[in-house]
Structure 1
């Protein structure tokens, strides 16, 4: 695992703001559509992003332990906590948390994060080369 001391938070905040702007254009039907993570709707996926931006590693670990190691139970609890009563409220929560930074500032660990939901994207984030920052 490579650790690079580059402040990526400005790039992350820019991309979160761009995503919030895109999400603001969605209809109610689009918010209710299944996302590329087919178990979740678009709104649930956004609530998942809100949850991720609002928790640090220790609290995340405690939450998983509280779910008896079940990531499904952990995610369901976190979604219930961070999903708004309406899609507009969920979007507002996303906008509020879009400048939160929960990783240690200035550090990026390439290859340390894995996702069970991967799908092709329509485009890479602006300023992102698609490679680990240490390989640029």
Structure 2
């Protein structure tokens, strides 16, 4: 008795044969995908709230008053875990919000080593919230 040992033939991917470059993208699709930054006018994809034209302008002018204000107005609980650079450098003034893999929500901390501390610990050491991480977390909580 012979058995057919060949696997069933099923498509391995969608070839999108119904789509064509001639298809028109609607205004509603554009509005659902992009938004314009009210500060700089840049169009950004509505995905995670990481656009930071304000941060880029403020990066070199962070002062003690600004840090103190960001610490005082942090909207998240003091006992939440946050990520602090393992080796605090002279220019370290912020802590990061962790994602599910315990890496920073923003891309600023890529390739750096962090230790997990409480938000209160970071505030006690005069570290302010990373503005990108804060915006991303706020947007995630609104979307849930």
**TM-score higher than 0.5:** no
Task: Report which of the two structures shows the higher radius of gyration computed on alpha carbons.
Answer: 2
The TM-score, its normalising length taken from structure 2, stands at 0.25
Greater RCO (Cα-Cα under 8 Å, separation 6 or more): 1
The TM-score, its normalising length taken from structure 1, stands at 0.26
- Higher helix fraction: Structure 1 or Structure 2? 1
- Higher strand fraction: Structure 1 or Structure 2? 2
